[in-house]
Amino acid sequence: MPAQILNGNPIRDQIYAELGQEIGELAAMGVRPGLAAVLVGDDPASKIYVRSKIAACEQLGLGSVHLTPPANTSTAELLAIVRELNSRDDVDGILVQLPLPLQIETKKILEAVDPAKDVDGFHPMNIGKLIEERPSMVACTPLGVMEILRRNGIRVEGADAVVVGRSNIVGKPMALLLMHADATVTVCHSKTRSLRQFARGADIVIAAAGHPALITRDDIRPGATVIDVGTTRITDPLLAEKLFAKLPERLEKFRKNGTAVVGDVHPDVAEVAGAMTPVPGGVGPLTIAMLMSNTVKAARLRRGLRAPETTASRR
């Protein structure tokens, strides 16, 4: 029996509906949450990501500021931009789109963002608060994964979970959120000697290594839940034929476009998993939804306002 497909779009729409109510309540108090997005240079992929985030702000009625300093911007110049945004009362969240150009010291920039406006959840202070289970800004992609699990009724408490990948953006905060939800968590990475051994024993596998089709059907226990966080654009026809051998429509689309976005999980995993997210259309929509949610949350926390009793706000 094929896996249940955990589509992220309906969950995103649920969260947007809940946020819409909260945003309306804030508007009645004269508060309009605002997000500032800083895109250095003209990387095509980053442009698409930032454009989608600004579009989400417009859809929900949030304020937005879009800054586009040139690719040759220095660390000092970007620090000045961040500090100016820190001081603006109409800006509740600050997003510095990564990756930054090589001449910029990324850690200095992320640490310069006011932790109260750090809607990406990358600031060391917010990471420390996450470790201690204190209210904070949490990285959007792991938050989105937790929403997928919760809203699809997938039991986390007591589950054996494997996180493949140990990045500060996804892997590490993902492991912490799962532990806080009472899962038993194993973190695997490029130096793990027997990834298959760990993955095969898991009830939940979160793939976030950035390696196309790293997780195969032989790595998954029948009936397990598989969440694919990876997104890689492929252009190799031989790889496409390998990945889409049983998906003629996707293969034909690849041949027409010459490119496709794939995840860290081989499509054949759907034949053994109990449930899995697609790529695209799985975790991606939730990442943006949780960025919007974090922006609204930051607006409330900065003003000392309590959250309403909606599911999107109980974090």
pLDDT over 70, % of the chain = 97
Evaluate whether 62 touches 295 at the Cβ level (below 8 Å). yes
On the question of pLDDT at 170 being above 50, the answer is yes
Q: So what's the pLDDT on residue 313?
A: 43
Q: Say how many Å lie between the first and final Cα of the chain, rounded.
A: 34
User: Which of the four pLDDT bands, split at 50, 70 and 90, describes residue 311?
Assistant: very low
State the CATH architecture for 27-135+287-302.
Answer: 3-Layer(aba) Sandwich (3.40)
If pLDDT is split at 50, 70 and 90, which confidence band does 310 have? Answer: low
The pLDDT tens digits of the residues spanning 216-273 come to: 999 999 999 999 999 999 999 999 999 999 999 999 999 999 999 999 999 999 999 9
Residues 85-100: pLDDT tens digits?
A: 999 999 999 999 999 9
The CATH fold assigned to 140-285 is Rossmann fold (3.40.50)
Query: Smallest Cα–Cα separation from 227: which of 239, 240, 209?
Result: 209
Mean pLDDT, the chain, rounded, equals 95
Average confidence (pLDDT) over 190-215:
95
DSSP letters, the chain, are -PPEE--HHHHHHHHHHHHHHHHHHHHHTT---EEEEE--S--HHHHHHHHHHHHHHHHHT-EEEEE---TT--HHHHHHHHHHHHH-TT--EEEEPSSPPTTS-HHHHHHHS-GGG-TT--SHHHHHHHHTT-S----HHHHHHHHHHHHTT---TT-EEEEE---TTTHHHHHHHHHHTT-EEEEE-TT-S-HHHHHHT-SEEEE-S--TT-B-GGGS-TT-EEEE---EEE--HHHHHHHTTT-HHHHHHHHHHS-EEE-SB-GGGGGT-SEE--TTTSSHHHHHHHHHHHHHHHHHHHTTPPPPS-GGG--
Per-residue pLDDT, averaged over 194-210, amounts to 96
From-to residues of CATH 3.40.50.720 in the chain: 140-285
Question: Which residues are known to be catalytic?
Answer: 53, 97, 120
CB neighbour list of residue 97: distance below 8 Å, 6 or more residues apart: 37, 38, 39, 40, 46, 49, 50
Q: What is the model's pLDDT at position 2?
A: 85
Q: Does residue 78 surpass a pLDDT of 50?
A: yes
Res 307 pLDDT > 80: no
In whole angstroms, what is the distance from residue 111 CA to residue 85 CA? 14
The mean pLDDT of 126-135, rounded to a whole number, is 92
Q: What is the mean pLDDT of residues 122-147?
A: 94
pLDDT number for residue 314 = 47
Scan for tokens 């999107």, then name that residue.
312
Q: At 161, which amino acid appears?
A: A
In the chain, which segments carry CATH 3.40.50.10860?
27-135+287-302
Closest to 228 in 3D by CA, of 1, 5, 48, 10: 5
pLDDT digits (tens, 9 = 90+) for 14-35: 999 999 999 999 999 999 999 9
Per-residue pLDDT at 312 exceeds 90: no
Of the pLDDT bands very low, low, confident and very high (cuts 50, 70, 90), residue 111 is very high
Is residue 1's pLDDT more than 80?
no
Instruction: Give pLDDT, residue 136.
Output: 84
Residues 91, 36: contact at Cβ < 8 Å?
Answer: yes
